[in-house]
Structure 1
Amino acid sequence: MILIVGGAWQGKLAFAVELAKKAYPLDSPACYNEKREEYEIAEGSRDSFEAAMKCRIIHGLHEYIRRLLKEGKSVDDFLSAVRQQNPHVIITSNELGCGIVPMDPGEREWREVSGRASVGLARTSEEVYRMVCGIASRIK
């Protein structure tokens, strides 16, 4: 597993695709769209939770977490399933803790749970990168 964190619009997805091209062959229909000649990406804001279990890239883990919290589902169970079913996935997640603390309790919970999820994933990931201005720094 590879984790890429950073602020919004810092180039995390482009870097994830670059890493996927280097690390993983384009041999699985679950992760590669032959018509568009690109990797299938599980988008946290819109794709199914099942998509995260099979796509080579999960983009926007923090958005999956938002949806899980709104639906009353376990974030830990979701992350555990990803680790088991998709151990070679590349995950991107926004850093949410660097701005103003939201007044809304639900937004604060989302921010805290997302941060803790990134901490847990970083511990078990083979590689961890932080993106700033399109530049990746390997931190693990």
Structure 2
Amino acid sequence: MRLVIGGAFQGKKAYVAEKYQLPNEKMTDGSAASYEEIFDTPCLYHFHEWVKERLKEGKKLESLEEELIDKNPDIILISNELGYGVVPIDKFDREYRETTGRVCTRLAKKSKSVVRIICGMECVLKDE
């Protein structure tokens, strides 16, 4: 498992496509993906949106990293960082932001590599 994080519009998807030679058709949009699709795709971008949709469905994601390691250990996840800036007033938005951060933290611990993309450039946080 690999995790690529960064702010919105920083070039995360382009970085993954180039680095891992992944064509667009092998990359799944998390904003439109079902729960099950994460276990069958080489790459899921908009992971933060995938988390949001699962929360709307009432899913619990406490053991997602273990399920991913078991079912799709080579997945590349691309997620926006949401924990910066003003804390949302809306309760659901706060829960979404916190859950995404906590899930990404657990995924980072289990990932082979964690890369942060800033202005299209990689900053390697972890590489095993």
TM-score, normalised by the number of residues in structure 1? 0.83
1:82 and 1:122 map into 2 onto residues whose CA distance is: 12
Does 2:93 correspond to 1:107? yes
Instruction: Compute the displacement of 1:53 (Å).
Output: 0.9
Give the aligned partner of residue 68 of structure 1.
Answer: 54
Tell me, yes or no, if the aligned pair for 1:20 and 1:56 is still in contact at 8 Å.
no
**Percent of residue pairs bearing the same amino acid type:** 37
1:41 and 1:73 map into 2 onto residues whose CA distance is: 23
Give the match's secondary structure for 1:76.
coil
1:106 and 1:3 map into 2 onto residues whose CA distance is: 25
User: What is the CA deviation profile of residues 98-135 of structure 1, one whole-angstrom value per residue up to 9, with x for unaligned ones?
Assistant: 12110001000000000011110110101100011111
Tell me, yes or no, if the aligned pair for 2:2 and 2:75 is still in contact at 8 Å.
yes
User: What is the CA deviation profile of residues 64-120 of structure 1, one whole-angstrom value per residue up to 9, with x for unaligned ones?
Assistant: 110111100112244432221110111111100112110001000000000011110
Give the aligned partner of residue 76 of structure 2.
Answer: 90
Match of 1:117 among 89, 98, 103: 103
Give the aligned partner of residue 16 of structure 1.
Answer: 16
Gaps of 5+ in 1: 22-31
1:10 and 1:87 map into 2 onto residues whose CA distance is: 25
Does 2:23 correspond to 1:2? no
Match of 1:132 among 107, 118, 121: 118
1:52 and 1:85 map into 2 onto residues whose CA distance is: 9
What is the number of residues matched between the two proteins?
A: 126
TM-score, normalised by the number of residues in structure 2? 0.90
State the structure with more CA Rg. 1
